[in-house]
Structure 1
Amino acid sequence: MSESEHMSSDVSAKQLEDLHNALANWVFDAEVPPLSPLALLHKTGPLTPLLDTLDINFNLASVKQDCLRKYNEHREKMKGVLSQNKGLINISVDLVSLESNESRFCVRAHFIDNDWNLIDLILNQTSHRSDDTNVVLEVLKDWGLDGKLLSLTGYPYLANSAKGSLIKEVRNVLLKGNLFQVQCFSDVLSEMVNSSLKMIVGIVDKASPWISPIPVHLSIFTLKEILHFKDSGLFSPENIYGHEEEVPSEYEWAKIKAISEMNDQIYTIFQPLYKVKKPTGNFFLPRLLEFYSYLVQESKSSDEFVKEVVRKMLKTYDMYWDKMYLMLSICAFLDPRYKMKFLEFSAKKFQWAQWDEKVATVYDTIQRLYDSYGVENDRKEYVLGDSDLEEGEDEGGSGMHKDQELGSFMAKLNTIKELKEYTCSQKPLQHDTNPPKKSDLQLYMEEPVLQPKNKNFAVLPWWKDNSLKYPKLSRMARDFLAVRFSIGTWYDVPEDSKVAGLDEELMEALSCTKSWKSAYDFN
């Protein structure tokens, strides 16, 4: 018997099965080298010579079936994870664009698991269709999420008529759907930035022919490049002699510079959100109010052009705020460092019209939400006392964020710093020596806001450690801190080199399974 014949006979059915599984797992591996899995399906693929040398009777064309089989196995496991999760689920929908210009319709689930980890899973990723509403409903039904949904983020990607039908079809939505729709702030911010760029597009068109290569897409980075050429002397009087009317005037250059500087400041404000892969819901309100503080400051500029740009931004911001202040405030309330103090302080600082009514609405909504949560039968009594967690940043997300310094620019605004001074100046409530039994919501609201000794604060571990102290409120925190206010900064999209040419089934299997394996160890 030859060596190859001996090796072939020694390969058992179990070993072949293990090889199939290993190859399927390799395709799904998040750290796989930049090699298209499609290559495994061809006889000329890179594994063919190796398998021929080993004389293993192995059909590479079956790799797709192996991948789909493993995908379905993992899918059933993830359904089990979601069914066993005690909290509600938040859903986001988005159109994900690959480098090949193909759009993929992506449905994700966001929730905090039973061990207080923030989990993000791709449930479905398919080619964009005209009936995306039906896709969402099918996904919710297939995954058994119909009665467990709290919020849907990214609804502008659905047809307007779909919003009502989704709320109507989905059961157990809190407060009759008032908290169901969450507008993606990345879309709002993009609208503001693009609106400011449109105000100088004609000026940029004047400068573009003088630059090599000519900018093909106007962006805040394009402005930096153009201003760099200006500062380097490209548009000096001697260079543009005889063409003065064809290039931007000094007044127009000032407009380009103003837009560039404004967008730099906006990026500085929101940079912490872009650095955190999976920000929890409490992370957004402080940054939004810093942004509002900046816009208010710039609205007093002596430059009429700047004032006009800011006026448009404030109009867009106000529309977003009117829709989202309730959900944003609830999530900030569930941060023990803020509670209602941030909203109350900001309302007074900016002298909002009818602010007392809005604050009262937030209070009333929190109370009604709290009342809708039942307490588990195995509730244990907890001795009230001070608690202060000093955890560091979890770079992988999980809702643990540093209060990062926002740079010297933010020192001019100081909204968060002013809030801390405001809360420290508030006298703590005097407690009766024989108080009547109070709910954990009342206790949470009456206790002073948390003043962590360390600036690195982790909200999810804090709630995990205090879940016995606040049994009902902690359940509410688990649901709301997983709400997605922005979905455009951290999506995991497979590189084109790994999915190019794959059929619909295999592409979805690859995207979903990579997402699941990044959250859970299937081994």
Structure 2
Amino acid sequence: MSMTGGNDTEPVKTETTPPTSRRGRKKSSVWEHFTIEEVSGGCTRACCKLCKQTFAYSSGSKIAGTSHLKRHIALGSCPKIKFQNKLALAKVDGDTLDPPKRRYRSSGFSSVFDQDQSYVNLAKMIIVHEYPHDMVEHPAFVAFVHSLQPLFRMVDVNTIEGEVLSLYQKEKQNLIQVFGTMPGRISLTIGLWTTSQTLGYICLCGQFIDSEWKLHRRMLNFMMVSSPHSENALSEAISVSLSDWNMKSRLFTITLDNTCSSHDIYSANLRDHLSNKNMLMLKGQLFVVRCYANILNVIAEDVIASIHGIIYNIRESIKFVKASPAREEKFAEIALQLEILSTKALSLDVTTQWNTTYLMLVAALEYKQAFNFLETCDDNYNEAPTADDWKKVDVVCTYLKLLYDSANVVMAAADLTANIFFHEAWKTQAELTNATLSEDTMVSSIAKEMHEKFDKYWKDCSLVLALAVVMDPRFKMKLVEFSFSKIYGADSARYVKLVDDSVHELYLEYVEQPLPQTLAYVDQGEANHANGDDKNVPTTSMPAADGLQDFDMYLSELAVNQSSKSEIDQYLEESLMPRIQEFDILNWWKLNYLKYPTLSKMARDILAIPVSMVDTGCSIFSSGTGSRVLDEYRSSLRPETVEALFCAKDWLQYLPTMAEPPLAAVVNMET
């Protein structure tokens, strides 16, 4: 018997109690939940006492029965019963409710409706998917939610904004507790945002390695400032952020994403302003780092801009070929006649992503003869580049490939620890340096343009990159010596000594100025003691009765000589680890913490330096250069709301509940 939620016939305002059975049995327990309403035509309907929904019961002498009424109660179809969890399945006067024919099982899902939790979930949805707050007032959205859950009371704009701020504060307190157990220092990245107005924002993220040797990056603040490009604004924002997160004494480095011309100004002012408030390691030589992804983008975009006229012709040529299937077929026939066996397909680029422009040029190069031939046989086409143009594109692609491959290696890394960047940077520096010496004037002119900018980056950041690769037990100082010989030639010894001196000087600073112990370090110290590695604990030995007193003296002298050698020297003198692709550098330091207790602290901070501001798994090519622009909607919000939206979105992605939908594998049906 099908159920209906209403009837076109107006009901008669008459209520009766259901009749008892002819055999004198007591009435079914279902009538505790229903009453009988008479309607015109001699028909009656059963009305649910709780939700007021009506169902067919009798039509003349034909009675529909009560099975469908029992299912309404037993299956929880009644909103009042379903969401208030008041279903009563007890036997009443010897009669029981019929069991449902289908049972629904859910995983991790409660049938009890929770208004407050629904508000939290709505706030999370708005934060994570960047929906506007006023969507809670959109009639279509309100109707949709009501169709899913009639009991949900939709909130207004002010209330949902309050939920967003509350969620932000809760997650912030959780993150503060995480930072409270952070064993090392923190490094910051600083991104600049502008608005359509005169105001702007500074985005600060912190990167660190926790006590389990896991790398983390979290957004700390998204602060509005009147002049985001001012060095005073940067230093003030950093100071406020460090105070806000109780990390004034833990700042290690900052990484900037800005243009080459302003970098020196930023570096000098930030060092001067913050050195009075924070103890900078190695006299501030490592303090300001430049974003590797940013320098790749700046150089690539500048080189592409230098041949913009040629690229315009290539774009127009591809558009011409793809304008119709007939032209594409004709072009394919020409390529076949010329025996061009390319596997690359012609495609237009996305002008804001230089990697797509590079791929467009590489494919077009393989069809250059076809484009030239097409111009001779089609009067409508006259955009083919000249022979000199194609040669210039070839040279540009050769060196764009260098940047493209480097970017892809970085993006493929599971963890963006600082050690991986030295390999890419030194190879790029060496290639560009050699290319500037080319006898081909076209090659040398393009290479000089690229080398000028990358050489500035190399001079600013090569020390940071070198220190990071020294902390890689597969390379240590050996790769620095090898790579510097390729770059500096006979003068390399001087640069190698600079890195070696810096490594030892930084190590001594860690020996003399250790961070205050955190809970994680206390636990590890106790573990050291438990494993007999506490050198301060006096030891006793059994008297030698085997006539080897001289041997004992030898061992004692050997121990003194070994203990006089520092951890850093022991580490550098040991053999290199095998260069396996699956090598986990963070796990290696975790396993060797007891062997190098001080050096491992230094390695933890150095490896956590964010050499690139692009997160793991994100595209370097679309990161852009310079400031990013806040959209009109978010520009209109209060600054504290904007900060809550940006920070909470970043934090929520790391929660286990956000990893996969909580209702995945919700319903299984059994018959």
Aligned counterpart, 1:460? 586
Read off the aligned partner of 1:59 and give its amino acid letter.
Answer: V
Distance change (3 Å), C-alpha of 1:450 and 1:224: closer
Q: Does the 8 Å contact 1:120/1:519 carry over to 2?
A: no
Distance 2:408 2:155 in 1: 49
Aligned counterpart, 1:203? 310
SS at structure 2 position matched to 1:281: coil
Distance change (3 Å), C-alpha of 1:286 and 1:520: same
Q: Which 10-residue stretch deviates more, 339-348 or 7-16? A: 7-16
Q: Establish whether residue 509 from structure 1 lines up as the match of residue 644 from structure 2.
A: yes
Q: Does the 8 Å contact 2:415/2:616 carry over to 1?
A: yes
Q: Does the 8 Å contact 2:200/2:226 carry over to 1?
A: no
Aligned counterpart, 1:38? 133
* TM-score when normalising by structure 1: 0.76
Residue deviations 1:225-257 (CA, integer Å, cap 9, x gap)? 36656727344341577998x863211221122
Equivalent residue in structure 1 for 2:150, among 30, 48, 54: 54
Q: Establish whether residue 24 from structure 1 lines up as the match of residue 159 from structure 2.
A: no
Q: Which has the larger radius of gyration?
A: 2
How far apart are residue 300 of structure 1 and its match?
Answer: 5.3
How far apart are residue 264 of structure 1 and its match?
Answer: 2.1
Distance 1:124 1:140 in 2: 10
Aligned counterpart, 1:327? 464
Distance 1:105 1:115 in 2: 30
Q: Establish whether residue 125 from structure 1 lines up as the match of residue 222 from structure 2.
A: yes
How far apart are residue 74 of structure 1 and its match?
Answer: 0.7
Distance 2:83 2:656 in 1: 34
Read off the aligned partner of 2:602 and give its amino acid letter.
Answer: M
Q: Does the 8 Å contact 1:155/1:181 carry over to 2?
A: no
Q: Does the 8 Å contact 2:252/2:281 carry over to 1?
A: yes
Equivalent residue in structure 1 for 2:169, among 72, 75, 81: 72
SS at structure 2 position matched to 1:238: helix
Aligned counterpart, 1:174? 281
Q: Establish whether residue 194 from structure 1 lines up as the match of residue 301 from structure 2.
A: yes
Read off the aligned partner of 2:569 and give its amino acid letter.
Answer: Q
Unaligned regions of 5+ residues in structure 2, if any? 1-48, 53-78, 87-111, 321-347, 534-556, 620-627, 659-671
Distance 2:504 2:280 in 1: 16
Equivalent residue in structure 2 for 1:63, among 154, 160, 180: 160
Distance 2:194 2:214 in 1: 28
Distance 1:308 1:314 in 2: 10
Instruction: Please give the residue correspondences for 1:5-404 in structure 2 after superposition, counting only pairs within 5 Å.
Output: 6=80, 10=84, 15-28=114-127, 36=131, 38=133, 40-44=135-139, 46-51=141-146, 54-61=150-157, 62-95=159-192, 105-126=202-223, 129-131=226-228, 132-133=233-234, 134-154=236-256, 156=258, 160=265, 162-205=269-312, 210=317, 212=319, 217=351, 219=354, 221-222=356-357, 224-225=359-360, 228=363, 231=367, 233-236=370-373, 237-239=375-377, 248-276=385-413, 278-299=415-436, 301-352=438-489, 354-374=491-511, 378=525, 380=528
Residue deviations 1:107-144 (CA, integer Å, cap 9, x gap)? 10000011110000011235674144133332222112
Residue deviations 1:456-499 (CA, integer Å, cap 9, x gap)? 10000000011001000000111110001111465879xx9xx9
How far apart are residue 520 of structure 1 and its match?
Answer: 5.0
Distance change (3 Å), C-alpha of 1:522 and 1:241: closer
Distance 1:46 1:37 in 2: 12
Distance 2:117 2:350 in 1: 51
Distance change (3 Å), C-alpha of 1:240 and 1:97: farther
Read off the aligned partner of 1:458 and give its amino acid letter.
Answer: D
Distance 1:96 1:264 in 2: 30
Q: Establish whether residue 470 from structure 1 lines up as the match of residue 607 from structure 2.
A: no
Give me the identity figure in percent. Answer: 22
Read off the aligned partner of 2:566 and give its amino acid letter.
Answer: S
Aligned counterpart, 2:544? none
Distance 1:509 1:168 in 2: 30
Residue deviations 1:487-519 (CA, integer Å, cap 9, x gap)? 1465879xx9xx984535444323312322334
Distance change (3 Å), C-alpha of 1:315 and 1:509: same
Distance change (3 Å), C-alpha of 1:372 and 1:486: same
Read off the aligned partner of 2:577 and give its amino acid letter.
Answer: L
Distance change (3 Å), C-alpha of 1:522 and 1:370: farther
Distance 2:171 2:244 in 1: 15
Equivalent residue in structure 2 for 1:440, among 561, 567, 587: 567
Q: Which 10-residue stretch deviates more, 40-49 or 214-223? A: 214-223
Unaligned regions of 5+ residues in structure 1, if any? 385-431
Q: Which 10-residue stretch deviates more, 262-271 or 176-185? A: 262-271
Q: Does the 8 Å contact 1:95/1:128 carry over to 2?
A: no
Cα RMSD of the aligned pairs, angstroms, is 3.9
Distance 1:108 1:489 in 2: 11
Q: Does the 8 Å contact 2:358/2:400 carry over to 1?
A: no
Distance change (3 Å), C-alpha of 1:35 and 1:67: closer
Q: Which 10-residue stretch deviates more, 313-322 or 37-46? A: 37-46
Distance change (3 Å), C-alpha of 1:329 and 1:207: closer
Distance 2:305 2:257 in 1: 25
Distance change (3 Å), C-alpha of 1:366 and 1:275: same
Aligned length: 464
How far apart are residue 336 of structure 1 and its match?
Answer: 0.3
Distance 1:460 1:188 in 2: 26
Q: Which 10-residue stretch deviates more, 280-289 or 134-143? A: 134-143
Read off the aligned partner of 1:192 and give its amino acid letter.
Answer: I
How far apart are residue 154 of structure 1 and its match?
Answer: 0.7
Distance change (3 Å), C-alpha of 1:129 and 1:272: farther
Distance 2:618 2:360 in 1: 29
Aligned counterpart, 1:518? 653
How far apart are residue 367 of structure 1 and its match?
Answer: 1.5
Distance change (3 Å), C-alpha of 1:490 and 1:216: closer
Q: Does the 8 Å contact 2:436/2:447 carry over to 1?
A: yes
Distance 1:187 1:166 in 2: 25
Q: Which 10-residue stretch deviates more, 158-167 or 66-75? A: 158-167
Q: Does the 8 Å contact 1:149/1:170 carry over to 2?
A: no
Distance 1:9 1:288 in 2: 61
Q: Does the 8 Å contact 1:40/1:63 carry over to 2?
A: no
Residue deviations 1:300-355 (CA, integer Å, cap 9, x gap)? 54532012111222232222222112111111110000110111112233443532
